[in-house]
Chains A and B, each alone.
Chain A
């Protein structure tokens, strides 16, 4: 049962970490457009070398 002395503080740290990551993601606008990026992955970013 001694492991709980480690796991409980660890879970606390994780909670705050997850919260911080979510906060960062929302701030950066990761959830603003849920549709566009799905299509964007299909497009080539480079100029197609057309000769």
Chain B
């Protein structure tokens, strides 16, 4: 590191010295830094720079290697901090640590280089009452401890905010802590075993290489040293095997730990006896080595498992702890409160860049929300008045005002987490049968080992023990037990990333074997939301209006309504033209009447509009009323326009049907809608088997009829009207729109509402089944080869340990391929562009 290396960053003189953005013309804010007046671009930067200078921390500017993130929201962030003044919020995020001390983990935003870390640490540690602050540069997390008599969390957070960084308490710290502890413990055991193994080798190598020149008592000394080093390996590192075996034996269900524990114990005990009596061979090196190898295989498996749950961890993370609640909506007064204290019907404001505190409905504002963590949908979702928003999604655009509809355990996020827990708790059928096989396998193995021991005792007593140990260790029931759960965990995790939630253990297997896919129409193959498909202006003479004028008039009349037609109109009305203001009156079931410039207008069903002016509907237009929804617009003098709406097909619907057919599946369309419409949709999608006008009971009968013919039925519905059909199907797939997710009747939920994810789920399920079969075949083949070899005495305990660890590793690695299989969209495009063949 040379002193003249310019690691610090100085922006061009015309730009803001603090953040590097151009200084607006005529703006004359500046701060003296190290004796030089530096220009600032805004009051925010100015305040931050002054804080830094006032605290003698200008070394930051000399050392920084990147410019800070620009924080326009500093005043807002400071306001938010007021919430941490509330005692209950502080209690929630901070742990009591000693009588007057508390500790909290903070998530820091805005750290761009190591100088930021220094800056925050220096500033915070000089606050009165702060006992310690440690910032991890790699994870951007800080651990802070403070004296509760002298300071509060809110003061610390505002001090950090005054520097231009954002700090917020890290919520899922506890979950992460337990996970880290588990990993640390496993790593420790691995370290002890590895360290012991190397040292034992060191003592035993001289015994192997020297021939006769070592005196008996030196050799004895080496053996005792090895024994002492092996003790921690067997007692600490191998403890999980012994406790596992003991648990299995007490439950009378011999699992995969029993032969391993037996092998380790036998080898160790025999070596101890040999050492103490000073006769016979010692195998401390073998014992330590296979403990090490087995632990390494376990560690690998654990890492794989943890990777599969990261998606869940991410889900739990963004839930915000505080919310901005309006004290008396629609008055503008608001206060920061703990998110946990929100109730149904509260009105909250969600600032851009903040997470939505609870499920709700937009009452004002228009923005885009990132729901990626919840639905796997990577595109920001536009939201406007009347739209549902999901708690924990991120507001990317402008401020939104929401009415809270669900809180706490009723939210969609809580529902998803519950379903995930359920899926994790259930052992799928295929895993249960593998476990049963593994159990018999262990029993058989123990008997084989006993037989081998007895036989070799008669043939060559000196080798009997070691061959028995080799048989016990080389066999790999682990591969048999791991084969299925490892694959299913990887597949579930990968699917969740794409917005497919698997809520039951058996779902993947059933989905892979499904032969018939039954679809509902409304809300499943179609979006379930109306869309304007046509405008027919009907006015003549002075009543003649253009298409756009008709649309604007219709949208204006419906502006106050939240009916699907009103929303379709609002979406279709040409941009840039202001909707007319009209005093409107809604007639339920009929339409809307409004007054404009003294003329009464009506929009709604044809008879409702006809009532106003008394003219009959032009006869030539009667035919359109069949497979589309028709709305008429008129005033006191006559018809103005006829608007037609239809429920459009979902994106990818045709593609998904074609692909399913190509995979050899039969696709069915069942709907309660009018047969003519159903037939029309079926034709458009190329579905041969279709049935319209079906009651829920008839759907059940239809599914059961298919099952009676030996079909495995996967039914896809939107979760409400299809509940009965979904319940009898082998795999129930639900579209994840809102409330229905939490009903929990389904096995698979398409959170992003995209049909192409269903296709991905089917592919992933088939790949999983293939991997499971490969794994089982490998485990079987390995054992069939290895056990006889070991029984015949061709395998030393050391090689047995290596073989066993390798076998488990192969199984886990093969399962992890499923995780990698999931193609990101770009990869799919690249594949399409690549030359064929």
Residues of A with Cβ closer than 8 Å to B? 1, 4-5, 8-9, 11-12, 15, 19, 22-23, 26, 29, 32-36, 38-40, 42-45, 47-48, 50
Closest chain-B Cβ to A46's Cβ sits at a distance in Å of 9
Closest chain-B Cβ to A51's Cβ sits at a distance in Å of 9
Are B203 and A35 in touch, CB under 8 angstroms?
A: no
Which residue in B56, B138, B188 is a CB contact (below 8 Å) of A47?
B56
Are A42 and B137 in touch, CB under 8 angstroms?
A: no
Residues of B with Cβ closer than 8 Å to A? 1, 34-35, 55-59, 63, 113-115, 117-118, 122, 134-139, 184, 188, 191-192, 195, 199, 203, 215, 218, 221-222, 225, 228-229
- Given the complex, which residues of A lie within 8 Å of B134, measured CB to CB? 29
Interface centre among A15, A26, A29 (most CB of B within 10 A): A15
Are A36 and B138 in touch, CB under 8 angstroms?
A: yes
Are B137 and A33 in touch, CB under 8 angstroms?
A: yes
- Given the complex, which residues of B lie within 8 Å of A4, measured CB to CB? 218, 221
Closest chain-A Cβ to B186's Cβ sits at a distance in Å of 13
Inter-chain pairs besides A35-B137, A48-B58, 14 sampled, C-beta below 8 Å: A5-B221, A8-B221, A8-B222, A11-B199, A11-B225, A15-B199, A19-B195, A32-B136, A39-B118, A40-B114, A40-B117, A47-B56, A47-B57, A48-B56
Which residue in B55, B63, B122, B225 is a CB contact (below 8 Å) of A12?
B225
Q: How far is the CA of A1 from the CA of B113 in the complex (A)?
A: 57
Q: How far is the CA of A12 from the CA of B227 in the complex (A)?
A: 11
The 8 closest A-B pairs by CB, nearest first: A39-B114, A36-B137, A47-B56, A43-B118, A33-B136, A8-B225, A35-B137, A44-B59
Closest chain-B Cβ to A8's Cβ sits at a distance in Å of 5
Are B118 and A40 in touch, CB under 8 angstroms?
A: yes
Closest chain-B Cβ to A48's Cβ sits at a distance in Å of 6
Main secondary structure of the interface of B (DSSP, over half): helix
Are A36 and B117 in touch, CB under 8 angstroms?
A: yes
Q: How far is the CA of A11 from the CA of B228 in the complex (A)?
A: 12
Q: How far is the CA of A33 from the CA of B203 in the complex (A)?
A: 36
Q: How far is the CA of A22 from the CA of B184 in the complex (A)?
A: 13
Q: Using known A-B contacts A33-B136, A36-B117, determine if residue A12 contacts B228 with beta carbons closer than 8 Å.
A: yes
Are A50 and B222 in touch, CB under 8 angstroms?
A: no
Which residue of chain A has the shortest Cβ distance to B60 in the bound complex? A43
Closest chain-A Cβ to B291's Cβ sits at a distance in Å of 16
Which residue in B115, B137, B138 is a CB contact (below 8 Å) of A43?
B115
- Given the complex, which residues of B lie within 8 Å of A32, measured CB to CB? 136
Which residue of chain B has the shortest Cβ distance to A36 in the bound complex? B137
- Given the complex, which residues of A lie within 8 Å of B138, measured CB to CB? 33-36
Q: How far is the CA of A21 from the CA of B705 in the complex (A)?
A: 70
Closest chain-B Cβ to A47's Cβ sits at a distance in Å of 3
**Please, could you name 20 A-B residue pairs with CB atoms under 8 Å apart, sorted by A?**
A4-B221, A5-B218, A5-B221, A12-B225, A12-B228, A32-B136, A33-B139, A36-B114, A38-B114, A39-B63, A39-B117, A40-B114, A40-B118, A43-B59, A43-B63, A44-B59, A47-B55, A47-B56, A47-B57, A48-B58
Q: Using known A-B contacts A8-B221, A8-B225, A34-B138, determine if residue A15 contacts B195 with beta carbons closer than 8 Å.
A: yes
Are B195 and A36 in touch, CB under 8 angstroms?
A: no
- Given the complex, which residues of B lie within 8 Å of A23, measured CB to CB? 188
Which residue in B59, B136, B184 is a CB contact (below 8 Å) of A36?
B136
Which residue of chain A has the shortest Cβ distance to B55 in the bound complex? A47
- Given the complex, which residues of A lie within 8 Å of B215, measured CB to CB? 1
Q: How far is the CA of A25 from the CA of B394 in the complex (A)?
A: 39
Q: How far is the CA of A26 from the CA of B34 in the complex (A)?
A: 40
Interface centre among A9, A26, A39 (most CB of B within 10 A): A39
Are B118 and A8 in touch, CB under 8 angstroms?
A: no
